[in-house]
Amino acid sequence: MYRILIIEDDKDIREALRKAGDTAGADVHEVDRTLISKGKADEAYRIGTYDAVVVGGYFHEAHVQNGHYIVERIRLRDRKVIIVGTAGDPNRRTAFLAAGASAFEVRGSTNRPAIGVLAALELLRQRDEKPKRTRKRAQPTPNQK
């Protein structure tokens, strides 16, 4: 079971993300709104605790107005976690990817609100399906025998 952290201030989108994750069998957690309003949403993330993080685009109540700053702060601590940025504004894509997001998805409150969790789950499945690379031992050349 994948563990996903949702950092989103919009209640309706948070609920859609949670429902999509629950339906897919994921263990979904939400950042407490007080951390978001204090601009400390990234502090809820602990290395190794979550397989993926879904971050919204704007946090109107917070000192951090843009989700890509949250992505940047999480990415500084953890290079491996999958982070999906989401926003209704497609122009946010560049900032999210430059901050270290694994992917960015455009969504709205009524149009594809749960796309962030679905994208995170797909990235996790792809990661886990990749065959593990094993180092092959170098075969001796005919001259080395």
Q: What is the mean pLDDT of the chain?
A: 84
Task: Report the 10 Å Cβ neighbour count for 112.
Answer: 16
Please tell me the predicted confidence (pLDDT) of residue 135: 64
Mean pLDDT in residue range 20-31: 92
Note the pLDDT tens digit of each residue in 87-113.
Answer: 888 998 999 999 999 999 998 767 787
- For residue 37, what pLDDT is reported? 66
Which pLDDT does position 123 carry in this prediction? Answer: 93
Q: Is the pLDDT of residue 62 over 60?
A: no
Q: Give the residue among 110, 122, 118 at the shortest CA–CA distance from 13.
A: 110
Q: How much is the pLDDT for 132?
A: 65
Cβ-contact 42, 18 below 8 angstroms? no
Rounded to the nearest angstrom, the gap between the alpha carbon of residue 53 and the centroid of all alpha carbons in its chain is 3
Report residue 98 as tokens: 């430059």
